[in-house]
Structure 1
Amino acid sequence: MKPHPTCTLVTPTYNWPEALELLLLSVLNQTVLPNEVIIADDGSKKETRQLIENFQQKFPIPLIHIWHEDLENRKPRIMNQAIAKAKFDYIVEIDGDIIMHKNFIEDHLNFSEKGHYLYGSRVNIQKKNIPKIFNQKKIHFGFFSEGIKKRGRTLHIPFLMRFAKTSNTRSTKLRGCNMSFWRDDFIKINGFNENLVGWGIDDSEMIQRLHNIGIQGKRLKHAGIVYHIYHPEQSKSHIELNLEIEKKTTHKKITYIEKGVNQFL
């Protein structure tokens, strides 16, 4: 296998320290550690800060907490700040409600390739099992685990990735909770679009601009496995506005947005 690129794991979070704790425990369980972890905090209260400080005492790699004031959903802005601070070449992005399979980082690094980004799927943990996994601090799941959906996605068979094809169009299966890209490519398109408001579309709109500069996508199947902790859906009150921005990005082949990561570099 080729040498791994250096890597920063970036995750947004907002006022859910119970989920963030399981995420950080799953970092410690990785077969290959990232070079650093950056938590992009969209204005959480002191409980999150205290949790991160406790983990910083025992983390074998830098664990960096970047916070801004809570002015409703400003995920694109805090993610831009985090990736601007990243010291390493390759960015692996997950959500703050994700538990990673032990080979997650290793898979993303093994299949990283210049001129490409990667995206994977997720295994959903059902609502009824959430209290139990928090009480037990459970981070190990598999095909026979109770309370999960789409069990086939739990099967770790990275050998099958040799048959994976690249795509020059954005997939509807893309999820920001499980993707990776080169930091230099992210900077070329000026990162996340801060004109997007509220929940949704920020990841797919950014990926569309990567396609617009010629970057191709590759889907991780039976590799790069994550488990998603159930939560109620966030408000989609601004989704139509965001979809219109994404549509414009696609049809006009926009590659660089006005308000992005450049203000933090």
Structure 2
Amino acid sequence: MTVSLIISTYNWPEALELVLLSVMKQSIAPDQVIIADDGSGLRTANLIKSFKGRLPVEHVWHEDNGFQKTLILNKALKICTSDYIIEIDGDIILHKHFIKDHLAAAQKGYFVQGSRAMIGEQLTKKALGSKRLNFNFLTRGMTTRFNAIRFPLLSFLFKTDPCSSHNVKGCNLAFWLDDYVRINGYFNGFTGWGWEDYEFAERLINSGVKKKRLKWAAVGFHIFHPLSSRANFKPNERIYKETVENKMWRRSPGFREVAFYKSA
């Protein structure tokens, strides 16, 4: 089984650098790293270039036209060469066994939600300055200390509803490429932040793919940042509710409607 790591980013190269440095520290390396870049400037492009030769990294970019995360993810997946996808945001520092844990949990017929621990604002400032990569539940400045525990042998103790799309977060999510293509990927009709992850998960579930939740495994450490604009929260929620009410498992425009994209 091969694995591609998809990293969405927008104009925060300082955070993306820490993420990529943490990818280099993985106990099991990804076969492919794709940066899904939602319109960042040259500083991000130059940072990504500096990692070529150190990581199997490819850069997929489009012009900045507001928050278009679903569109850039679909473009990034067009160049994916692996069977299995792990999706993270460009502000998630990975535990050194992050990919190892995800691969251990990979199972046909399931998508997997990993664990997210929150780094507090003051610790974030220090980490960005010092390029710190190592965090755990004892680290001062963690705001969700419980989620920072890695103890995969006890992960089975935490149960979740396998048919619920609630609390699905694309910042730490894994799925099979075949499942992604079958449901036509993310829906490009979303504008701005909100509900795109829930809606994607709902269609996976409606297509017969169940949710698996990892706790104390596949830990990602989320770098603090101010909340994104919620201006389109309600319109995006209506899209999600439409998918739920009509038990939709495929929507357009999505993955199929995006032309094949050549990486930068």
TM over 0.5, shorter chain: yes
- 1:203 aligned residue: 197
Q: CA deviation at 1:176?
A: 1.1
Q: Which amino acid in 1 is paired with 2:155?
A: M
Whether the 8 Å contact between 1:20 and 1:96 is mirrored in structure 2 is yes
Whether the 8 Å contact between 1:95 and 1:176 is mirrored in structure 2 is yes
TM-score, normalisation: structure 2:
0.95
- Work out which of the residue numbers 28, 31, 42 in structure 2 matches 1:32: 28
Matched, 1:152 2:184: no
- Work out which of the residue numbers 80, 83, 91 in structure 2 matches 1:86: 80
Whether the 8 Å contact between 1:121 and 1:173 is mirrored in structure 2 is no
Q: Secondary structure at the match of 1:40?
A: strand
Matched, 1:56 2:40: no
Equivalent residues in 2 for 1:248-259, closer than 5 Å = 248-259=242-253
RMSD of the alignment, in Å?
A: 1.3
- Work out which of the residue numbers 85, 98, 102 in structure 2 matches 1:108: 102
- When the two structures are aligned, how many residues end up with a matched partner? 259
- 1:7 aligned residue: 3
Q: Which amino acid in 2 is paired with 1:99?
A: I
Q: CA deviation at 1:57?
A: 3.2
Which structure 1 segments of 5+ residues have no match?
none
- 2:176 aligned residue: 182
Runs of 4 or more consecutive aligned structure 1 residues displaced over 6 Å after TM superposition: none
Whether the 8 Å contact between 2:119 and 2:144 is mirrored in structure 1 is no
Q: For 1:231 and 1:146, locate their aligned partners in 2 and report how far apart those are by CA, in whole Å.
A: 18
| Cα deviation 1:208-236 (Å, max 9, x = unaligned) | 00000110001001101010001011111
Q: For 2:2 and 2:252, locate their aligned partners in 1 and report how far apart those are by CA, in whole Å.
A: 29
TM-score, normalisation: structure 1:
0.94
Q: 1:120 to 1:166 in 2, by over 3 A?
A: same
Q: CA deviation at 1:84?
A: 1.6
- Work out which of the residue numbers 130, 135, 142 in structure 1 matches 2:136: 142
Matched, 1:43 2:48: no
Q: For 1:24 and 1:108, locate their aligned partners in 2 and report how far apart those are by CA, in whole Å.
A: 17
Q: Which amino acid in 2 is paired with 1:37?
A: V
